[in-house]
């Protein structure tokens, strides 16, 4: 098993909250992580129809069968279990980490958690592997375009399974639509939703345009907004909101859309190899998507909010990423392997405008992380590495 960075946050939450919920996209390794973290706990899955029916018929008795607590996989498939967990927790005694819940259908699970377990649950969102995790495991290629093209979903790095990314992603999309989407849209719109995911790939790294997407699909803008919410809630895409610090300038109000995994993005863009990616017009957007994904993973692996925005004014002046963490960082992403001062022009201008200690970073595809005239050039191998900040 590749050691997961999120393990520390999971144990931290389990030492405080009686319930810990681990969510994230399908196939991100949630079940593997909780089995590793809690080897002494019984694990049940509501993918099992018999267990599911038992839990539905009498959820409180089902929980009482596990007096020392239990790990419940795909918990959202039995919504009744959330109220039962609440009652068991409130009955006491207070036992941190007693119930561990996992689920990939974030939209339904989040509603159940907010309704039943507020104040009793610690939340962890587990993303696919990070570059740091792959590097620590000794499976990271020396070519940045290998993980960018392949993506970071754990099954693609399982040496026993030999998945071809194109085949794996095709089945991944089919499974996602069948299990996570079909009950949230009208049956007649399933084929349109497939086309919608494909169209969204063209917008990764760009301002989202609901009207333009709706015209391409043939459904209303309201429907597109609703479908985008489904993709975001199930960790297929992430929206980056515009920075609210307008520095006295008029800024755009529209969010930018990013796919969470660059490999899935390459599949949807119908790129068949990293060589095709190198020559494709979307290369810059794919590299930027990979960089945003690594920053998301860094924060979510620590059970922290991303706090990532971007800056763009009405005149087109833009900084790809603004990270407001313990300190503030302005980050430009470049699909270049050489570090040149001109690559940092926008972050220098932005940090000068803010004049509040905001630090400038350039994420690039070189192998060396270094400081050049007050701006840190961060190698792709260090994207998301906490020690670089």
The pLDDT tens digits for 359-388 are: 999 999 999 999 988 899 999 999 988 777
User: pLDDT tens digit string along 264-301?
Assistant: 999 999 999 999 999 999 999 999 999 999 999 999 99
**Predicted confidence (pLDDT) at residue 250 exceeds the cutoff of 80:** no
Which one is predicted more confidently, 368 or 245?
A: 368
**Predicted confidence (pLDDT) at residue 106 exceeds the cutoff of 60:** no
Residues 1, 32: contact at Cβ < 8 Å? Answer: yes
Helix (H) or strand (E) holding 201: helix 190-201
User: pLDDT tens digit string along 130-159?
Assistant: 999 999 999 999 999 999 999 999 999 998
Residue bearing tokens 């849209």: 185
User: pLDDT tens digit string along 164-180?
Assistant: 999 999 999 999 999 88
Q: Which residues pair with 239 in a beta bridge?
A: 257
Domains and CATH numbers, the chain: 7-125 (3.40.50.300), 131-388 (no CATH)
Using a cut of 0.85, tell me whether the model's pTM lies above it: yes
What does the pLDDT read at residue 244? 81
3-state secondary structure of 317: coil
> What is the band of 344 on the pLDDT scale with cuts at 50, 70, 90?
confident
d(CA 205, CA 289): 6
- Alpha carbon separation from 76 to 18, 21, 200 (Å, rounded): 18, 11, 27
d(CA 289, CA 308): 13
Closest CA to 231 of 206, 257, 205: 257
User: pLDDT tens digit string along 27-81?
Assistant: 999 999 999 999 999 999 999 999 999 999 999 999 999 999 999 999 988 989 9
What does the pLDDT read at residue 314? 87
Residues of the chain with pLDDT > 70, as a percent, come to: 97
**Predicted confidence (pLDDT) at residue 335 exceeds the cutoff of 70:** yes
d(CA 259, CA 257): 7
């Amino acid at each position: 098993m590749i050691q997961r960075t999120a393990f520390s946050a999971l144990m931290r939450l389990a030492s405080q909250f009686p319930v810990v919920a681990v969510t994230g996209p399908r196939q991100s390794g949630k079940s593997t992580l909780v089995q590793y973290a809690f080897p002494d706990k019984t694990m049940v899955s509501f993918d099992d129809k018999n267990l599911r029916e038992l839990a539905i018929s009498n959820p409180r008795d089902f929980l009482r069968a596990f007096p020392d607590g239990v790990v419940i996989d795909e918990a959202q498939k039995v919504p009744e279990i959330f109220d039962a967990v609440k009652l068991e927790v409130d009955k006491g005694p207070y036992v941190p980490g007693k119930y561990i819940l996992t689920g990939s259908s974030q939209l339904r699970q989040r509603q159940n958690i907010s309704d039943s377990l507020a104040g009793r649950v610690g939340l962890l969102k587990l993303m696919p592997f990070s570059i740091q995790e792959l590097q620590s495991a000794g499976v990271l290629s020396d070519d940045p375009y290998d993980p960018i093209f392949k993506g970071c979903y754990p099954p693609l790095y399982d040496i026993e399974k030999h998945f071809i990314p194109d085949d794996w992603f095709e089945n991944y999309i089919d499974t996602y639509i069948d299990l996570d989407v079909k009950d949230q849209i009208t049956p007649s719109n399933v084929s349109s939703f497939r086309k919608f995911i494909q169209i969204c790939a063209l917008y990764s790294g760009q301002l989202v345009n609901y009207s333009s997407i709706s015209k391409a699909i043939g459904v209303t803008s309201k429907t597109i907004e609703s479908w985008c919410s489904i993709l975001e809630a199930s960790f297929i895409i992430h929206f980056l909101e515009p920075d609210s610090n307008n520095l006295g300038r008029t800024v755009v109000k529209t969010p930018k859309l990013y796919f969470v995994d660059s490999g899935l993005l390459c599949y949807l863009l119908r790129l068949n190899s990293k060589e095709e990616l190198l020559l494709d017009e979307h290369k810059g957007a794919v590299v930027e998507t990979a960089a945003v994904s690594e920053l998301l993973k860094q924060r979510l692996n620590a059970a922290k909010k991303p706090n990532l925005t971007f800056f763009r004014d009405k005149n087109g002046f833009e900084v790809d990423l603004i990270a407001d963490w313990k300190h503030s960082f302005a980050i430009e992403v470049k699909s270049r392997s050489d570090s040149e001062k001109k690559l940092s022009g926008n972050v220098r201008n932005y940090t000068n405008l803010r004049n509040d200690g905001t630090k400038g970073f350039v994420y690039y595809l070189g192998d060396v992380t270094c400081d050049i005239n007050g701006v840190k050039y961060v190698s792709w191998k260090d994207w998301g590495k906490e020690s670089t900040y």
